[in-house]
Amino acid sequence: MTTTKQSTFSATLRTTILLASLTGLLVVIGALIGGPSTAAVFLVIALLINLGSYFWSDKLALSMAKAQPIEESDNPRLFEIVRELTTRAGLPMPRLYMIPNDQPNAFATGRNPKHSAVAVTRGITKLLSEDELRGVLAHELTHIRNRDILIQSVASAIGAAITYLAYMLMWFGNDDNSPLGAIAAISLVLLAPISATIIQLAISRQREYAADAGGAEICGNPESLASALLRLEQGAQAMPMQVNQAAEPLFIVRPFKGKGIAGLFSTHPPIDERVKRLRQMRPSL
């Protein structure tokens, strides 16, 4: 099995596990709240959420970023670079979008390689060298190859479901007024959202590391991606983007300012660590 096929199989397996986890979570908490009948209702809700994540996550992401579709005549060089990289990666050509924002940043979206899109900001096309831009685009194509956006969308749905249903369980799931039941419900309300956040952060950060490694492999130059990440972080700090916070995990670098404690809860790993890992790859390529 080739590396690309292994990556696709692994991504599909992770997605299946996440979708099953979301369904199981909703059914179990539904049963705790109202028994088998409520569990059945939540099973239907789970299926609807799964379908929504699968078919519409890309449209929502592009809308949140105010991305506009572009044609090859609008930016021939960008199309040329993406076409070259997709050939190397064995991927179909994604749709390309431009975000009318001067912050240098980019993201990929889409449920699978055949239904994918890459969006870049106006700022990134002005700031980065061609080699650096190639590294960034290779990173985003790796997200597409690994189906990371679908995985992240489902992980977000799991987190939202855990939080919402934990509150429902506290208010509707303790009919016997038992003190122990009340304590258990309160504990669930407090711990479930925290656990969900930790899971989402772990998933997002690991996917970023994997996309960095895959991007370096596709473009053949880890240093160009490392250099781009450093410049992108500086640009993002200097020009924070006004965008829905739910869109944060999509971008290659965090689009908001976030140092200290706020940085601990970022969906992105520290840039210094990402650069360190990329530069450790350089001798092996």
Which residues are catalytic, by number?
A: 140
Looking from the CA of 144 toward its CB, the CA atoms found within 13 Å total: 31
Smallest Cα–Cα separation from 219: which of 228, 207, 232? 228
Name, in order, each residue with C-beta under 8 angstroms of 276's C-beta and a sequence gap of 6 or more: none
75 conformational bin, left if phi > 0, alpha if psi -120 to 50, beta if neither? beta
d(CA 247, CA 160): 15
What is the DSSP secondary-structure string of 119-150? EEEHHHHHHS-HHHHHHHHHHHHHHHHTTHHH
Is there a contact between 150 and 54 (Cβ–Cβ < 8 Å)? yes
* Residue 8 neighbours by CB under 8 Å, 6+ apart: 145, 146, 147
Dist. CA 41–CA 18, nearest whole Å: 20
CA distances from 36 to 27, 31, 33, 39, 87 (A): 9, 5, 9, 5, 51
